[in-house]
Structure 1
């Protein structure tokens, strides 16, 4: 068939046609015969110029309305008698089915083959109709221009498309079905087949959908009146809703969480491809909404909480891809990701509680006068071993939290796309379980102390820096930062005084990072510790210069290094805690050599700082001693580092006769060292095999007042330099008694902070209700600690008693007035 385009060029009729007489019936006969030939694909012998002239003459003779109606009648007849009849022959019993019923493979295949024949015939009929009407429209071009537009009647082509709808697609096949409904049913059945994994002719389905997109239910041809949107798409979406409702139920019952998520992602991809390649792109957002609502949203919470395969399992086993799938799915249907957020928070808190439980080893208070010790050959006393285990448990607690945080920070990036909602949820989870552990401030301080003190045995400098940075990062989660400050000051003071700090530069660096995290107010006092140690260094250098100038240099002179501490800066109440009432005013009996240099330094210091007072506190001092041991004529020399108390004890054995001894009571009388401190030092010197410089009789686990101690001439070691550690002398976890005392000091400090906040607020506002004062006070102090409401009330009462505040006159609405 020779195609004739709608834009074909037709030569204008010759002038004078208006004067010719025209026989309408004869002319229409010519045109109708030609149109029928065009539909019959026999147009090769037709003269389109002559046909155009005939139509043109009829319009000139004012016969256009009759011509228009005759063309419509001809098309109706052709479509009804020829096209519809031909299509009806392809409506076979195989197409008469209920799409909701399950069919066997053979029935499905039969339906697919019959359906493809049916819609291919319909598709071809529509394509032929379009082609033929394009040619006929060219012939009637002049009528369309001067008649259809003026009379506001549809163009012949538009009318012909509408006739295809009414005469072919609306052609009844039974009482309940017409060709269009059967077409839609076949298309939906084929789409469902494809969803179930069968192969269909996508091009054929696309052609039929394209046909429905090109047909309109109104002559105005508005977008919303497309047959595809009016008829097919609603049925497609309704069938899809049912399909995904049933599939979702089946998947949740039979599949695991990972499979569900992968399948849902695949379905979304398939629907996108189907819209782009098979049906229509305009349906894509709506079909995706169906999948979102009826497959994903309806079941995502159940999938997330699936026992054994849900998000908990994914988190525990680092299933990043599966978690990313879960996130992508829930992000489509819930901007808040509530189910995922809840599951992640719950798991983090559970893991945090497990870490807390593992670290909650009960700490027993140490006996004041009697401490157990291992027998000879063991390196640590049971009390020391227990304390070390508890301290290590505290450090492990921080390390495990850091590992947990690193893991979830990584998952936040790799699986959750740095989602702000989930990030906030993780922050809250970590904050919750970290503050559930009342010892978290102490544990964090011990962790930092461990790496600032020793630097890590098997770690590089970069690794240590990273660990310290991570530890400081946990500071932001602590609700009671003042409690951390108390412990950190205590541990830092010990590091500096016992010269165990890696370096002061590292200490400054850590304080600088803390300042960024929690503010200058916290680090101010800690910086004072470093400042005092540096001033002490300068003071010692000046003292040594003076000694040199005065000619007091003696090879045997004891080299003294003093730390002068400012009372208001250093935590004396924790560093120099005593088990008696003598406190720091106790008069120790130093060896004569020590006493001489002590008095010399004191005179030097007071000469430079008139009016000041020095109180000597040897409990955290240490001494380097040279010791000589002789047995069998062989002499062994060692350099031993001991505590100041240990030095005072060992110096007593210098003037003793060989094999002479000193009892516990004698040693205490000669030194005036407190009983608990003396016990700990004698334990270290006589019971620990690695540095048993003294021998004890009788050899037992206990130190008693009647025990005697001998210089151990037989002592030997493979090391020339030996450090004698004192039992429980380093930074460690506090026992219950110490913790109560620390909490009492913290509460006293908090009371002062609360009072200062109340006074500042009232001085500014002058008059506030009780509720307003409580809220503003809570807001001001919450950056340092979680205030107790009852404590605030007590501080208000105290300020009223001391006449800083007075109650308002209106008793019905409690308020306070500031008293200048």
Structure 2
């Protein structure tokens, strides 16, 4: 084949080219030699000299395709020999309209692709170069519809749209809709072959404009999708009305789920993917959105009776609709959890109320967490409802005058787990992990912190912890939940205990090196006053240390001050305890007791009896402390008194007849026996003071940064900063602002009643 342009006769070449084009478009046989020759003919006509025949070739090909499609319409597709309008083949075996159209389209669409290849040179070198750019369309106000030549493949599809689809559109759509309706009714005529035909006809409306960059689905949507949605909506409305008359809510939901599944499969089977969501929305609107009153009519009973199958079905059909429409189910679910939670904690009583509280709430939480996973697919809306319900129950106050005691209960539950017991470490670890679930719902986390730190201090000082690893793991959990600031003091308490162990070892080594024998085994804990909740250390109970302790205390003070010059040691004797060996009885006993009790018994080492006045004056104890500790020794029967009233002349004697089955036991300290109510009041009072200081510090910090701030903006920033630990009342914030104004940290901005300025 020569590539040199030459003079040719169009009328001589075109008939052969047209003949081959006709064979190609009808999927006839074209041998390789003829194909190559016709391919060359297209090139020759496009580059002919002196005048190319590209435009004439395009025009003649267009005429050929128009005639071919019109002929197909007239002879193969439109005629219906039996006059039948049915969607299935006629009884005499003649194919119906959809079958004829599908066969014609299948042949033509393939033929056009082959023809497009034959005309590839015309497409590439002539038509594409003349195409209008997007910029010319936008800025030159040009229309691609009227000015452009189309590639031969595109041209063939457009001619099919104009002459075939437009002529038959109403009949085609009518038969397609009848076929889809027959499929909905379960007609046996809609077999796999029939599905293939209907699917092919529908997709021809899309494929015929696939070449378009924009609006390729316009024909499909206007011609078929809109009538389909209208017809389907009417069908769904009719079916929904029938179901309402026949079914209970439970049965209705099951039927709707089945219909939704069937329609989804049907849409995938017949329609273009863009229509699937639209058809489902029509189905949901008719069966669900417009029937919400009926669906919700038994919602409360289903939730209260926990009918999982029905709730699952309700969730499935409500899931796709907007959240505000699902609100009734979510709210009913929330109220149910809240009621069950309140019921489970309303009857708590006894000494183990804190254990009952936490474990009952955990049961409720775990039960509904599992139900949400099983029924509601862990939907965030239902998990949020669970959180709101649990938070509401856990933070509920019995009355306006009574504080919420959840923080106290959760802290005491941890204390029970972490104290020495027969529980395994693995079990403790699991329970503490579960306990954090309840802790996270507590709003007043600073109250929890106050109770927890006091209980932790008791465990550490009196060495009651089951495991130091478990203690540290719990603090790390709190740290993850609330941040480092929340657990800062708890970490410092731990540090003090570990440093005290090291300090005691160093002191023991020092005594060995100096060859000093104290006569007693001494273990001292040095605690930072700012980290431990020990109360004001300046209020120390007067106490004359017994000679047996004096030497040890002085030796330790000298050793400590040598290592840490400038630090002051304050001895908290009321928090100390020790073991005393009793050798004056028939059996030897080892008794653990508080320091003051030990000091009283040591006075009897050189005598058998003393008066109350002698004991009190020797130890220099105040009357209240003396009475409490002496009473505990009398109750233990280690000592006896000459009268019930412990007055100055009352004689106190050793009980030489004392006997106990246990040779090692403990005398409970009588000190600090506050009533539960006193403990709660004292803790909440301390928390209240801490909150005021925290809020004042936060206000100063915010104002120092912002310099000038409106009242409402300041309130919002304070609430944002404090929400980790507690939610302060607006009245408390206002009091703190007024206090800082009085202290001249901030001031009201002149000429503005609701704005504050930082006073530098």
Normalised-by-shorter TM-score class? 0.5 to 0.7
The alpha-carbon deviation at position 400 of structure 1 amounts to 3.2
Tell me the distance in 2 between the aligned counterparts of 1:653 and 1:68.
126
Written as runs of structure 1 = structure 2, the 5 A alignment for 1:202-213 is 206=195
- Residue 722 of structure 1 is matched in structure 2 by 665
Tell me the distance in 2 between the aligned counterparts of 1:785 and 1:10.
86
- Residue 331 of structure 1 is matched in structure 2 by 319
Pick closer, same or farther for the CA change 1:271–1:552 going to 2, 3 Å: same
Contact 2:87 2:179 in 1 (8 A): no
Tell me the distance in 2 between the aligned counterparts of 1:236 and 1:527.
68
Bigger drift between 668-677 and 796-805 goes to 668-677
The alpha-carbon deviation at position 651 of structure 1 amounts to 4.1
- Residue 615 of structure 1 is matched in structure 2 by 570
Tell me the distance in 2 between the aligned counterparts of 1:799 and 1:338.
45
Give CA deviations for 1:726-776 in whole Å, capped at 9, x if unaligned.
47979x9x7223322222222222222222222223333333333333333
Contact 2:169 2:223 in 1 (8 A): no
- Residue 588 of structure 2 is matched in structure 1 by 637
Contact 2:696 2:736 in 1 (8 A): yes
Pick closer, same or farther for the CA change 1:714–1:335 going to 2, 3 Å: same
- Residue 382 of structure 1 is matched in structure 2 by none
- Residue 481 of structure 1 is matched in structure 2 by 445
Contact 1:441 1:481 in 2 (8 A): yes
Q: Secondary structure at the match of 1:332?
A: coil
Contact 2:418 2:470 in 1 (8 A): yes
Q: Secondary structure at the match of 2:535?
A: helix
Tell me the distance in 2 between the aligned counterparts of 1:703 and 1:307.
70
Gaps spanning 5+ residues in structure 1: where?
A: 12-64, 89-114, 138-148, 171-179, 362-385, 577-582
- Residue 494 of structure 2 is matched in structure 1 by 530
Tell me the distance in 2 between the aligned counterparts of 1:775 and 1:128.
71
CA RMSD of aligned residues (A): 5.4
- Residue 497 of structure 1 is matched in structure 2 by 461
- Residue 270 of structure 1 is matched in structure 2 by 262
The alpha-carbon deviation at position 128 of structure 1 amounts to 8.7
Q: Secondary structure at the match of 2:588?
A: strand
- Residue 693 of structure 2 is matched in structure 1 by 752
Give CA deviations for 1:577-622 in whole Å, capped at 9, x if unaligned.
xxxxxx8432235554244534444455456556654433232222
1:452 aligns with 2:418: yes
Q: Secondary structure at the match of 2:757?
A: strand
Tell me the distance in 1 between the aligned counterparts of 2:692 and 2:406.
22
Contact 1:806 1:819 in 2 (8 A): yes
The alpha-carbon deviation at position 263 of structure 1 amounts to 3.8
1:347 aligns with 2:336: yes
Tell me the distance in 1 between the aligned counterparts of 2:442 and 2:69.
87
Tell me the distance in 1 between the aligned counterparts of 2:341 and 2:176.
57
Tell me the distance in 2 between the aligned counterparts of 1:593 and 1:330.
79
1:440 aligns with 2:406: yes
Pick closer, same or farther for the CA change 1:435–1:121 going to 2, 3 Å: farther
- Residue 281 of structure 2 is matched in structure 1 by 289
- Residue 238 of structure 2 is matched in structure 1 by 242
Tell me the distance in 2 between the aligned counterparts of 1:527 and 1:214.
70
Task: Tell me which of the two structures has the higher relative contact order, counting C-alpha pairs closer than 8 angstroms and 6 or more residues apart.
Answer: 1
Which of 572, 581, 605 lines up with 2:534 in the alignment?
572
The alpha-carbon deviation at position 568 of structure 1 amounts to 2.6
Contact 2:355 2:413 in 1 (8 A): yes
Q: Secondary structure at the match of 2:319?
A: helix
- Residue 593 of structure 1 is matched in structure 2 by 548
The alpha-carbon deviation at position 355 of structure 1 amounts to 4.7
Q: Secondary structure at the match of 1:625?
A: strand
Contact 1:305 1:311 in 2 (8 A): no
The alpha-carbon deviation at position 330 of structure 1 amounts to 2.4
- Residue 814 of structure 1 is matched in structure 2 by 754
Q: Secondary structure at the match of 1:522?
A: helix
Pick closer, same or farther for the CA change 1:191–1:450 going to 2, 3 Å: same
Pick closer, same or farther for the CA change 1:612–1:74 going to 2, 3 Å: closer
The alpha-carbon deviation at position 499 of structure 1 amounts to 1.0
Tell me the distance in 2 between the aligned counterparts of 1:678 and 1:133.
113
Contact 1:123 1:211 in 2 (8 A): no
Tell me the distance in 2 between the aligned counterparts of 1:615 and 1:563.
11
Written as runs of structure 1 = structure 2, the 5 A alignment for 1:594-743 is 594-605=549-560, 613-627=568-582, 635-651=586-602, 694=638, 711=655, 713=657, 715-717=659-661, 719-726=662-669, 735-743=676-684
Contact 1:767 1:817 in 2 (8 A): yes
- Residue 104 of structure 1 is matched in structure 2 by none
Contact 1:188 1:236 in 2 (8 A): no
Tell me the distance in 2 between the aligned counterparts of 1:10 and 1:767.
88
Q: Secondary structure at the match of 2:726?
A: coil
Pick closer, same or farther for the CA change 1:737–1:203 going to 2, 3 Å: same
Contact 2:70 2:163 in 1 (8 A): no
Written as runs of structure 1 = structure 2, the 5 A alignment for 1:346-495 is 346-358=335-347, 389=351, 392-437=352-397, 438-454=404-420, 457-459=422-424, 461-472=425-436, 474-495=438-459
Q: Secondary structure at the match of 1:541?
A: helix
Q: Secondary structure at the match of 2:709?
A: strand
Contact 2:577 2:592 in 1 (8 A): yes
Pick closer, same or farther for the CA change 1:201–1:770 going to 2, 3 Å: closer
**Please, what TM-score do these two structures have when normalized by structure 2?**
0.68
Tell me the distance in 2 between the aligned counterparts of 1:543 and 1:78.
114
Which of 462, 476, 487 lines up with 1:512 in the alignment?
476
Give CA deviations for 1:324-359 in whole Å, capped at 9, x if unaligned.
544433222235753444344333433443355345
Tell me the distance in 2 between the aligned counterparts of 1:715 and 1:302.
79
The alpha-carbon deviation at position 664 of structure 1 amounts to 7.7
Contact 1:626 1:637 in 2 (8 A): yes
Written as runs of structure 1 = structure 2, the 5 A alignment for 1:46-85 is 79=80, 83-84=82-83
Tell me the distance in 2 between the aligned counterparts of 1:291 and 1:680.
80
The alpha-carbon deviation at position 278 of structure 1 amounts to 8.4
The alpha-carbon deviation at position 541 of structure 1 amounts to 3.0
The alpha-carbon deviation at position 498 of structure 1 amounts to 0.7
**Please, what TM-score do these two structures have when normalized by structure 1?**
0.63
Tell me the distance in 2 between the aligned counterparts of 1:305 and 1:709.
81
Contact 1:511 1:523 in 2 (8 A): yes
Tell me the distance in 2 between the aligned counterparts of 1:596 and 1:117.
114
Give CA deviations for 1:122-158 in whole Å, capped at 9, x if unaligned.
9855589779999xx9xxxxxxxxxxx9xx9x99999
- Residue 124 of structure 2 is matched in structure 1 by none
Give CA deviations for 1:606-641 in whole Å, capped at 9, x if unaligned.
5655665443323222222334585xxxx4334332
Tell me the distance in 2 between the aligned counterparts of 1:410 and 1:77.
62
Contact 2:240 2:287 in 1 (8 A): yes
Bigger drift between 785-794 and 394-403 goes to 394-403
- Residue 56 of structure 1 is matched in structure 2 by none
Contact 1:203 1:278 in 2 (8 A): no
The alpha-carbon deviation at position 489 of structure 1 amounts to 1.9
1:802 aligns with 2:743: yes
Tell me the distance in 1 between the aligned counterparts of 2:78 and 2:461.
111
Give CA deviations for 1:55-99 in whole Å, capped at 9, x if unaligned.
xxxxxxxxxx999999999999985xx623xx59xxxxxxxxxxx
The alpha-carbon deviation at position 243 of structure 1 amounts to 0.7
Bigger drift between 183-192 and 615-624 goes to 183-192
Contact 1:76 1:163 in 2 (8 A): no
